[in-house]
Structure 1
Amino acid sequence: MLKHICFIPPYAYPKEGFSHGGIGSFTKSYLPDLVNRGFKVTLIEFNKKESVKIIEGITIIHLKRSKIRGISWFLNALKINNKLKEIHNEHPIDIVESAELGLAFIKKRTNIKYIIRLHGGHHFFAESENRKINIWKGFQEKRSFKKSNGFIAVSNYVKKHTNFFLSYHNKPIEVIPSTVNFKLFTPKRDVVINENVILFAGRLCEKKGIKNLILAMPLILEKYPSMELHIYGKDSFKESRSYMRFLLEEIIPQIGLAKKNVIFKGEIPIEELVNRYASSKICVFPSYMETQGLVVIEAMAMKKGVIFSKYGPGVEVINQYVNGLLCDPYDIKSIANEVLWMLDNPESLKNIEEKALETITKNYNLDNIANRNINFYLNLLSQ
């Protein structure tokens, strides 16, 4: 009987009042539900100091991360293994779950099943970001995959694309998307919509397609001169260079007078971002590569018109002109054309918004997703 599930780094539980990405959204929506279903849930994460907290019924164990150059990986792995041993002796663990690199240095026990959930690993994103495989990270990922007893992929796309680079070693694998926090992401009927706002949310980096969305603004403004692009997200760095600085210094000057219609809003708490979703006219996420695109289903759950990428998992979520639109994120005209179509067709946009909510409610509801995960765990334990 499945009783105790333990999640290990890179999993972490989002802090209240802070923004978080896809893995944070996954833990925030999924782990409390497991607790409500009667499971013991433990999450181990690294922090500045050691502590143990109970949040929403989840036992969250903070380990102090080692930063000793050259051997920090060994010391951190030792800390996780020692903690797993301690936890298992007190409350036997049935399932240990991590992401792609997470099992590389984990010492396995015969009475525990180990699972990797594919959120998008090093090989997956290295290709999309046009960078070489880091030998050390590549080694860890391959080693981690060999240790896993089974795999869960958050989309068909991440399952197939990861398999180009890494083997699943004939272990069980199932596609189960991450769910939405429906308590947070829900239609807000009392919010006034700003008809002139296009919203983008996500980390500021090349793969999110924000550069081409900015470059598409002059084409949009030719017909709708009052439209504004509001950009929410955390800056990122590539080779010590700020991507925000790159956008401001090299991309914004290319759009001339349209620059006054592009507004960087920075990183804001998730609860505040929800209100920004609600008050925007449409949401545009022209990513070059995603594993699932949680921001997309979160916006759709709020009954918003969404434009996503036609590449990657986009076609698994959006049916073109039915519950959303798909663009070519590499093509500035394609991005502009889909935005203009939404603005030109208000009645069709209303229908799309209705279908968007219907799609997410039906296909990404927490009860269904949780049951599929639990069944996968149980089938693995029976083997």
Structure 2
Amino acid sequence: MKIGFITSEYPHPSVKHAAGIGTSIKNLAVNLVKKGVKVTVFVYHQNENNIVEDEGVTIHLIAKKNYKFFTWYYYRLRLQKYINEVVKKDKINILEAADWTGITAFMRFNLPLVIRFHGSDAYFCKLENRRQKFKNFVFEKLALKKAVAYIAPTSYAGFETQRIFGLDKKKIKTIHYGLQLENFVNNTPNEYDRNTILYIGTIIRKKGVFELAEIFNRVIRSNPDAKLILIGNDSSDIKTGEPSTYKLVEQIFSDEAHKHVNYLGKIPYLEVQEHIKNAHVCVFPSFAETLGMVTIESMALQKPVVNTSIGWAQEIIDDGKDGFLVHPTEIELYASRIVELLNDDVLCLKLGKAARNKVENRFDINKNADINIEYYKSVLNT
């Protein structure tokens, strides 16, 4: 079997951007290669045209190009032509693309197209209760309607996307993201930087960072030794237009809390894992995800996690068993869960061990790659 992935991001030094979508694609791609599948990744909106090999995966970098008029249309035609040429030459059997921005709208391929629900703009607008640009909705719907099948990382993401776009639910298969578990090992879960709370993710309103500031204000009152570390890109704020969301978040911290906050910005991926290992508690008070890669990475490293309680998170964590689930707007309860963990070493180790077991059972990419392969085969045989 030969599979092609169409994406705007992928973790590789030659690629200009990579985040959760790119990480999940790479985890799957590398494991598909190990199972004898030929994988080609088409990464668009790049600085240059190039072809590189990485861990058995062939990566086609496709440069961004602007046109005098209708760049959104003519660039898609350019991608279509390039991808179809490679598909024919390399005899690729099936293509997969993300739903975000509807990149495959107006494209035609001579092979089946599967779309994975990494999170469309329409999906996130619904979760954030904000209005979507009509053009974005049309592009995403056109792209989705052209696909022959869909993959959702959680049943929640699948259900919500199906309702938004009126898709055939029989064509949607839930397959969780996965981790290469041998790369996420914590041999000393009882060793960590005491009272350190870690947040990983873009500094953006939908991730609950404003609520996190209020939560930490409550935590510091109960535990004056608590520290908060934030890792991730800063972003502009969609509500106020402020170019730095973190600047707005800073204004929420109390004077005492602010002394105990360390914002590291974006750091190398390998360093992130060390910060997870060193953390006492990991927190993800997000309002909008499809699954949340950093959550399962933290769980794999046996960290006690306080996560959001919204839809998708209920498929990751069983509240009180392998982590805690609290709605981001429940500031007092969220803070009390964090304080409870900071004060109870036994509970932290218990939840961390259970979290690792959950990831091994549900988010092992080696197992989930097999599920993907069988689904691709079923699509090809339809």
TM-score by length of 1: 0.93
Pairs aligned (count): 376
Q: 1-side partners of 2:350 and 2:25: how far apart?
A: 32
Counterpart of 1:107 in structure 2 is: 108
1:182 Cα offset (Å): 2.2
1:374 Cα offset (Å): 0.6
Cα distance change, pair 200–141 in 1 and its aligned pair in 2 (3 A): same
Q: Which deviates more from structure 2 when the two are superposed, residues 197-206 or residues 220-229?
A: 220-229
The amino acid across from 2:105 in the alignment is A
The amino acid across from 1:43 in the alignment is V
Cα distance change, pair 55–93 in 1 and its aligned pair in 2 (3 A): same
For residues 1-383 of structure 1, what are the structure 2 equivalents within 5 Å?
3-15=1-13, 20-46=18-44, 47-68=46-67, 70-100=69-99, 101-109=102-110, 112-169=111-168, 172-189=171-188, 192-237=191-236, 238=238, 239=241, 241-248=243-250, 250-252=251-253, 255-383=254-382
Counterpart contact for 1:305–1:353, Cα < 8 Å: yes
* CA deviation string 1:198-245 (max 9, x = no partner): 000000001111211111223212221111011111011134622122
Q: 2-side partners of 1:204 and 1:364: how far apart?
A: 26
The amino acid across from 1:360 in the alignment is V
Q: 1-side partners of 2:281 and 2:138: how far apart?
A: 42
Identify unmatched segments of 5+ residues in structure 2: none
Counterpart contact for 1:278–1:304, Cα < 8 Å: yes
* CA deviation string 1:89-129 (max 9, x = no partner): 212121110011132122132xx111000011011011223
1:131 Cα offset (Å): 2.2
Q: Which deviates more from structure 2 when the two are superposed, residues 113-122 or residues 15-24?
A: 15-24
Secondary structure at the residue paired with 1:127?
Answer: helix
Cα distance change, pair 276–157 in 1 and its aligned pair in 2 (3 A): same
Q: Which deviates more from structure 2 when the two are superposed, residues 197-206 or residues 85-94?
A: 85-94
* CA deviation string 1:319-367 (max 9, x = no partner): 1111001112012112101101212322122111110111101111122
Secondary structure at the residue paired with 2:183?
Answer: coil
Cα distance change, pair 33–87 in 1 and its aligned pair in 2 (3 A): same
Q: 2-side partners of 1:374 and 1:322: how far apart?
A: 31
Q: 1-side partners of 2:208 and 2:29: how far apart?
A: 31
Counterpart contact for 1:198–1:284, Cα < 8 Å: yes
Counterpart contact for 2:11–2:18, Cα < 8 Å: no
Q: 2-side partners of 1:350 and 1:229: how far apart?
A: 20
Q: 2-side partners of 1:5 and 1:146: how far apart?
A: 20
The amino acid across from 1:370 in the alignment is A
Cα distance change, pair 13–277 in 1 and its aligned pair in 2 (3 A): closer
Q: 1-side partners of 2:87 and 2:304: how far apart?
A: 47
C-alpha RMSD of the superposition: 1.9
Counterpart contact for 1:198–1:230, Cα < 8 Å: yes
Secondary structure at the residue paired with 2:318?
Answer: coil
Q: 1-side partners of 2:247 and 2:218: how far apart?
A: 23
Secondary structure at the residue paired with 1:98?
Answer: strand
* CA deviation string 1:162-216 (max 9, x = no partner): 1221122465211001001324322142994110210000000011112111112
Secondary structure at the residue paired with 1:361?
Answer: helix
